[in-house]
Structure 1
Amino acid sequence: MTTGGVSLPLSLAIVSRFLSNMCMATRGTPSVPMGEAGENARETVSRPWRMRGAMSSFADRCEAFLAGAEFDRGPWLAVAFALGIGLWFYLPSPDYWTATIFASLAAGGLAVLRWRNRDGRDYLRASVIAVSLALVAGLALVWARSAMVGAEPIPHPRFERIDARILEREEQPAEGRTRLVLAARERESGSPIAYRVSLPAEQDHTDLREGARIRLAARLMPPSPPIVPGAYNFARRAWFDGLAATGSVVGEVELVEAAPDAAFTISAIQRKLSAHVRDRLDDTPGAIAATLASGDRGAIPEHDEEAMRDAGLTHLLSISGLHVSAIIAATYLLAIRLLALWPWLALRVRLPLVAAAAAAVAGIAYTLLTGAQVPTVRSCIGALLVLIALALGREPLSLRMVAVAACAVLALWPEALIGPSFQMSFAAVIAIVSLHNVQRIREFLAPREEGWLRRFGRRAAILFLTGLVIELALMPIVLFHFHRAGLYGAAANLFAIPLVTFVTMPLVALALFLDLAGVGAPVWWLVGLSLDLLLGIAHFFAEQPGSVKLAPRIGMGTMLLYLGGALWLALWQGRARMWGLAPLVLSAGLIVIAPVPDLLVTRDGRDIGIANQADRLLVLRQSEGGYAQQNLLELAGTDQAPLELAEWPRSHCSREFCRFSLDGLERNWEVLVARNRDQVAERALAAACARVDIVIAARYLPRSCRPRWLKADRGFLAREGGLAIHLDESRVDTVAADQGEHGW
């Protein structure tokens, strides 16, 4: 991993040195008679400028290729900036980060020194310099942000009395709890520290809001790393959120100092608006309407949220690009139409500029009202850039505009790059813009004299094609992060997006407006009908056979191969863009054949999953709906109910241990797994260990326990974290190997 991570910047330096030598080559090659082959060979050794001439011509061809392909550095600079951020997360230690920075700067420096005004190669020279600097900027930025905002986790679980102020409050009625982010001070050092605790809904009350000072007792845990390799990494998110621990409240919460009057703060307005909407509509429609109005999605039941996810409609529940764009577009169109009715103003003021300003105010207000979460702010920034382009008379939807929006977001939150929200949002936008920049698509959508039915058919066809392209672009990203993806999202979105954009959201806005006069009830009834229809669409597509694709852990190499091919296909111009299909097809094949680990062991050793041996995943203990078991099922690429190991005919279990044999390609593997922490005679345990290849236990095992290959006891798991074991390759993937020397 480490060697491959540094290879890119090092290869940039090598290529720069290689091309710089070409710039020193002479033009032309003296002719050599056919009969002087031997002498020619000697001259090739003694006159190296001939090789340099060939290299120089290669650089000329590169320059001509970039010019002929209408190469646009703008989007690729954003890619290089993102690559620098990604390398910081991927490379394991500061030594590698520093080496990458110096290698990139060396590549740019060589381009400056050796290609200056040489043979007209300014385009290639400028590209190398700009890409090198962008990569360094990205890596340095995320390194600096990590150092500034990262919160050191507490060293071990503990029970603590906390005197703190509430920073954030998040209500989650569907989970029966409220989450509080607290600011306190360490007892020993007095340094500030932040916790996130869960408060049962029955203990919650309205006085526990932002700014209040409280005292409570809580069980605290360090933020959890991935439970097994490839699982969700909450510790990394907590590091950038500044959280040192998470936990749950024990007992009553004492209000020491009430919060200042906050009737008109954004969070208070958001909560009141959410509660108002849920009062007008019951059950899931009310929860979804509250999400659209205020961004509060904590009341959506789990089964309905799963149906939306499996149908490819989860994006409708997250206030992001679709919702912000709908608000801004509606405001822009309404403003420009109303202003055009005033001739005096239309003759004296540039109406697109005024309409864009009104739409910008509406977009910013909606972003603040819905909580100003990172995805919403990101979408608002992109929409504001589109408005600026419209006001200036520029092309609003271009890859350069997308690149500017991506750089703006990454400059503020570089850690967003590795999150699914950023990747899915920009992958969808890039797919849309690239598709609609294709000449044939432009011709297909061009205005023409035709009936409304044919016009509607063309629009529906392009909407379906757009949805299909988006689904294909997002599926590898979704599988990489969540290990499951809906396959019918294009068809579901064909109905759901117009329904939400042109029916539900306008009705919600109208109902809220009419509620000012107390006459919004009929419109709320219509909102409920539209949301019932949305839920019906979600459940219909989610329940179809083969509606969900499951996948085990996808390797980072496969993902980089996909991203490289997709970006090449989207950002390049001309026939050369088709070269991106090769890595796309190859990565798709690797995703399909991604291997399932034979053994998955959680970081505490209390849960294991055994795949590839039975029709269902074998687990040590049944914990239906549990977090650990859900992760094991996802990474095994199955949604079937697991089978308890003790019920498997090929296992032999006592009260303390289970022993079983796993089939491999070349041999069978004997495994011994501890079922509990009960004491066992050391001599008997040592004899049992000597007869097996692998021992797994949630407790410390004595040194006398020596299996033939691997002993994964509590000490080993505490050091290495969860395990993914591939028997045929004799390979053990660990969580610790993925973490490197990052702070979390």
Structure 2
Amino acid sequence: HIRGLVGGPEGEIAAALIVGVRAGIPDEINEAMRRTGIYHIISISGLHMALVAGTIMLLLRGAFALFPDFASRRPVKKYAAAAALVSIAAYLVFSGIVVAAERSFIMLAVMLVAVLFDRAALTMRNLAISAIAVILVSPHEVVGPSFQMSFAATAALVGAYAGWSDYRADRTTAPPPKRSFLHFASRKLVMGMGGLAMTSIIAGSATALFAIWHFQRVSPLSLLANLAVMPIVSVVMFLGVASALTMPFGLDWPFLYLMGKGLTAMIAISGWISERSPVDAVGLISIQSVLFVTIALVIATMATTWLRLAAIPFALAGLLTVSNTRTPDVLISEDAHLVAMPIGGGELAVNRARSNEFTTDNWKRALVAETIVEPETFETGDARFDIDPLDLPPGSPFYCRDGLCLARHPSGAIVALAENRKTARPACAFADLIVIDDATAYSPCWNSLALVVTKRQLARSGSAAVFFDPQSATAQATIRYAVEKPYRPWHEQRKYSREARGLPPYQRPEKPVVKLAPSAQ
């Protein structure tokens, strides 16, 4: 219904904002919003929940104000908070109860319940209660980007707001002189834009390193984009709430129409800024840097006195150890279908002409590569493939024939990708790394220094990063899997897939052919 009334990419974004359906948004618009740092408005999370709760509270308190006798005798703020709590609970349900929305609902619910009990709504205590609730409901989210970035941003904003409030409370200010309405309005506008800019700077600074750690990208112009887009988004979300309230009565079309116009402006602004944004890929950073910055953030937000200065050494240590990591020489997807290898000159060689775009984009950012080099495929019997693998030039792309792909890393190591154990056996004589895309296969190499990775290993341990020894060409490569054992509870399901059990892909049984008798024919 939303798509039909709004239409185009604006309709897809409107559907994502209201009910969390993001599949139809064009890729170029998604990428533009990621490059400009405003993609957070698409995922139903804290921004959307807060705008919905704020809109409901504003409407109800405004409605109660029309009846001053009732409003003066009753706790109408609590009534509005209770209605807002019910509203965001309903929003959580019909948006699909995704993890980001679940976390945001818990945080806002704690704040609204605090209002019901006459407690301060936005404090570190409430943030801690929200974190405990999320950990109890979804403990695996602690190591995910959604949990880390949202709580880092919220903690930084609460800490900065508390510090600013303490600073203003210690100042003695004279009553402001009377000014004209134009001066008053312009001053409020400047203060509002300044507050929005500081909010973006504080939240962006608190989450920047987590974004680099998880996604290997930053948004250099995110401050400009958020300043330009957030006023529009606030109006758009208000219209979205109004359309949801009037939709049962068939009166939603004017709100959706105006919502579409606002989204058109948002798309145009993000596209314009994205075209002028510098390259946002930054490569891998070290875990030590993330840990140091996390400690600095905790100290800076939790301390309330001069002890906040203790965060500075940890922040400096985090900046100095950013590059203290090594880039993988080969990356292998967890389904064993895709292998990628940086070959120099900003190029990334892959073994498939039609590779998974999402995976390759992530790998390009992690390895700071700009170009994908597709494999060269030869037909059976093609003499051009009949070359000695040791004669492959360092930094070569993948050459594929008869179920076997070969490539040579710039260090001289040879990488082989085979369909099964039979096609992998010849590579034991010369390859340093052999990847077998077959869950039933085991290593065909005996007394060999080749590192053999099978589909079954990847199914049990996730995607892999391989490192060749830069000091010795004859030393066996080392491998690091995404999932380290022992398994966490949320990894247990990996044991039970067909690939993890060493079984071939499932084949539907053929239906038996029923022969009819001549009389029936």
Fold-level similarity (TM above 0.5): yes
2:238 maps to which residue? 506
Contact 1:616 1:642 in 2 (8 A): yes
Partner of residue 461 from structure 1, selected from 179, 187, 194: 194
Is 1:570 aligned with 2:305? no
The answer (yes or no) to whether the contact 1:420–1:478 under 8 Å persists in 2 is yes
Structure 1 residues 695 and 406, CA gap change in structure 2 (3 angstroms): closer
Aligned counterparts of 1:295 and 1:654: Cα–Cα separation in 2: 42
1:464, CA displacement in angstroms? 0.7
**Helix, strand or coil for the counterpart of 2:401?**
coil
1:439 to 2:164 alignment: yes
CA distance in 2 between counterparts of 1:681 and 1:324 reads 53
Matched, 1:741 2:484: no
RMSD between aligned residues: 3.5
Alpha-carbon shift at residue 505 of structure 1 (Å): 1.9
Is 1:673 equivalent to 2:411 in the alignment? Answer: no
The residue aligned with 2:262 is 530
Shift of the 448–363 alpha-carbon distance from structure 1 to 2, 3 Å rule, reads farther
The alignment-based identity, stated in percent, is: 25
For the 8 Å contact 1:613–1:662, the answer to whether it is kept is no
Provide the rounded CA distance (Å) in 1 between the counterparts of 2:83 and 2:54. 10
Tell me the alpha carbon deviations over residues 330-376 of structure 1, each in whole angstroms, 9 at most, x when there is no partner: 22233223323323223422332233223323333333333333332
* Partners of 1:578 and 1:467 in 2: CA distance: 22
Alignment correspondent of 1:544: 276
Distance 1:698 1:299, change over 3 A: closer
> Separation in 2 of the partners of 1:600 and 1:497?
38
Alignment pair present for 1:597 and 2:328: yes
Alpha-carbon distance change, 363 to 692 in structure 1, aligned in 2, over 3 angstroms: closer
Change (3 A) 1:578 1:709: farther
Comparing 526-535 with 442-451, which one deviates more in the overlay?
442-451
Residue 372 of structure 1 pairs with residue 97 of structure 2: yes
One of 462, 485, 496 as aligned partner of 2:229: 496
> Which is worse superposed, 458-467 or 514-523?
514-523
> What per-residue deviation string (whole Å, max 9, x for no partner) do you get for residues 164-189 of structure 1?
xxxxxxxxxxxxxxxxxxxxxxxxxx
User: How many Å separate the matches in 1 of 2:126 and 2:42?
Assistant: 26
Distance 1:304 1:481 in 2: 21
- Matches for 1:584-733 after TM superposition, within 5 Å: 584-592=315-323, 594-603=325-334, 605-611=336-342, 613-626=344-357, 628-644=359-375, 650=394, 651=396, 653=399, 655=401, 661-663=408-410, 668-674=411-417, 676-677=419-420, 685=426, 689-691=428-430, 693-698=432-437, 706-708=447-449, 710-712=451-453, 722-728=463-469, 732-733=478-479
- Kept after mapping to 1: 8 A contact 2:41/2:47: yes
The answer (yes or no) to whether the contact 2:55–2:241 under 8 Å persists in 1 is: no
Determine which structure has more spread, i.e. the larger CA radius of gyration: 1
For the 8 Å contact 1:618–1:645, the answer to whether it is kept is no
Asked whether the equivalents of residues 719 and 736 of structure 1 are also in contact (C-alpha less than 8 Å), the reply is: no
SS at match of 2:466: strand
Q: Check conservation: 1:609, 1:617, Cα contact below 8 A.
A: yes
Structure 1 contact 511–523 (Cα < 8 Å) conserved: yes
* 1:707 Cα deviation from its structure 2 partner: 4.1
Residue identity in the other structure for 2:219 = G
Partner residue of 1:400? 125
Q: How many residues align?
A: 459
* Cα distance change of structure 1 residues 597 and 390 upon mapping to structure 2, 3 Å threshold: same
Secondary structure class of the residue paired with 1:500: helix
Quick one: structure 1 residues 643 and 579, their matched pair in 2 at CA, closer, same or farther if it must change by over 3 Å? farther
Aligned residue in 2 for 1:181: none
Q: What TM-score do the two structures reach when normalised by structure 1?
A: 0.55
The counterpart of 1:338, out of the listed 63, 72, 75, is 63
Q: CA deviation at 1:674?
A: 4.1
CA distance in 2, matches of 1:672, 1:466: 48
Distance of aligned partners of 1:705 and 1:489 in 2 relative to their CA distance in 1, 3 Å threshold: same
Give the whole-Å Cα distance in 1 for the aligned partners of 2:452 and 2:241: 61
Q: How big is the shift at 1:282?
A: 0.7
In 1, Cα distance between the equivalents of 2:333 and 2:257? Answer: 48
Q: Is the contact between residue 435 and residue 441 of structure 1 (CA under 8 Å) also seen in structure 2?
A: no
Alignment of 1:33-112 (within 5 A): none
Q: In 1, distance between residues paired with 2:44 and 2:310?
A: 36
The one-letter amino acid paired with 1:330 is T
1:291-306 equivalences in 2 (<5 Å):
291-306=16-31
Query: Mind listing any 5+ residue stretches in structure 1 that lack a counterpart?
Result: 1-275
How far apart in 2 are the matches of 1:714 and 1:525?
50
Over 3 Å counting, the alpha-carbon distance change for 1:384 and 1:689 in structure 2 is: closer
Asked if the contact 2:350–2:372 (Cα under 8 Å) also holds between the matched residues in 1, the reply is no
Partners of 2:68 and 2:423 in 1: CA distance: 92
Instruction: State the TM-score, normalizing by the size of structure 2.
Output: 0.76
1:624-665 per-residue CA deviation (whole Å, 9 max, x = no partner) reads 4445544543432334333547899544957355666544xx
Counterpart residue type for residue 354 of structure 2: S
Contact 1:436–1:442 at 8 Å: present in 2 too?
no
Question: Does the Cα contact within 8 Å between 2:286 and 2:323 map onto a contact in 1?
Answer: no
The CA distance in 1 between the partners of 2:264 and 2:310, in whole Å, is: 45
Task: Say whether the 8 Å CA contact 1:428–1:473 is kept in structure 2.
Answer: yes
Task: Identify which range, 646-655 or 366-375, moves more after superposition.
Answer: 646-655
Task: Answer yes or no: is the 8 Å Cα contact 2:424–2:444 preserved in 1.
Answer: no
1: CA distance, partners of 2:64 / 2:372: 61
